[in-house]
Amino acid sequence: MSSPCALIAQQVGELFVCTPHQRYTRIRTPYLYPDGDVIDLFLRDNEGILTLTDLGETLRWFRMQTTSLRRSPRQRQIIEDICLNHGVELFKGMLVLRVDRPENLSQAVMKISQAALRVSDLWFSLRNRAVQSITDEVAEFLTEREIRYERAEKIPGRSGRIWSVDFHTWTPNRSSLVYVLSTGSRASARSIVEHVVASWYDLSHMKAGPQVLSFVSLFDDTLDVWSDEDLRLAGGLSQTAMWSRPDEFEATLKAAA
């Protein structure tokens, strides 16, 4: 049987370069991660069984683009769907594909390469989601759960400034003001939180009196841009909720005052 490197040269050409790498053969592909790093794959021959993997580099790259070590439930689901569509296994953070026959090696290389590209591009496709689409989703959710609400209500603060609050909700037990915090940029996350906190402080007089309102900061955690400090900052003046856990958000709105 020809060596893996010879098979790759024959099947997919000289753009894929093979070099020894410890227990593996490293395959340098012509594909790039969005920041320009080369996508490398690693092939291991274990008694005639060929296993192709990225050794976890794709998800490691993805994680380095965020402030959180954890991916959101939506991100995990999309990554799993990408692997399923390309016939690639996700094992301990690695993209893995077993090659049953040597003549299928080039096809396996292309499958994992495409999966790695799709996963890395996920960061940029998700960060382009508009904030408006999130508030639309929240509005649909409130309608489905039969929670009355008014959207983008203008409310004067103690300073005289007029604040546009995303939602004013009514349930039998309480009424709430809700801000939806959403961004695709880690750089702007803190400024968004500080704006919401300033609003809660200026509207704090509404948490007292006969018509008591609760304050809720709803974080869109589709992207892992929020730090623990951001959550603590918002939690000082409001209750925090995560959009990935809508049932908990609903319970917060319906809880007894």
When mean pLDDT is compared across 132-136, 177-181, 204-208, the lowest value belongs to 132-136
- 97: pLDDT strictly greater than 90: yes
Q: How does pLDDT run across 50-87, given as a tens digit for each residue?
A: 899 999 999 998 877 654 556 667 778 889 999 999 99
Least Cα distance to 138 among 180, 87, 104, 173 occurs for 180
When mean pLDDT is compared across 130-134, 199-203, 245-249, the lowest value belongs to 130-134
50 contacts 43 by C-beta, under 8 angstroms: yes
What's the confidence (pLDDT) of residue 117?
Answer: 92
Q: How does pLDDT run across 108-148, given as a tens digit for each residue?
A: 999 999 999 999 888 666 554 545 578 888 999 999 999 99
The mean pLDDT of the chain is: 86
Each domain of the chain, given as residue ranges in start order, spans 4-127, 131-254
Buried b (16+ CB within 10 A) or exposed e, 175-185: bbbbbbbbbbe
When mean pLDDT is compared across 15-29, 59-73, 79-93, 98-112, the lowest value belongs to 59-73
Give the list of residues 6+ apart from residue 109 with CB closer than 8 angstroms, or none. Answer: 8, 12, 16, 27, 29, 41, 52
What's the confidence (pLDDT) of residue 18?
Answer: 84
What's the confidence (pLDDT) of residue 67?
Answer: 47
% of the chain beyond a pLDDT of 70? 89
Q: Which fold has domain 4-127?
A: Yope Regulator; Chain: A, (3.30.1460)
Per the model's pLDDT, the better-predicted residue between 210 and 146 turns out to be 146
CATH number for the domain whose boundaries are 131-254: 3.40.1350.10
What's the confidence (pLDDT) of residue 133?
Answer: 76
Per the model's pLDDT, the better-predicted residue between 45 and 232 turns out to be 232
Per the model's pLDDT, the better-predicted residue between 20 and 140 turns out to be 140
What's the confidence (pLDDT) of residue 12?
Answer: 67
What is 88-136 written as a DSSP string? -EEETTEEEEEESSGGGHHHHHHHHHHHHHHHHHHHHHHHT--HHHHHH
What's the confidence (pLDDT) of residue 130?
Answer: 46
- 3: pLDDT strictly greater than 90: no
What is the 3-state secondary structure of 209-242?
Answer: CCCCEEEEEEECCCCCCCCHHHHHHHHCCCEEEE
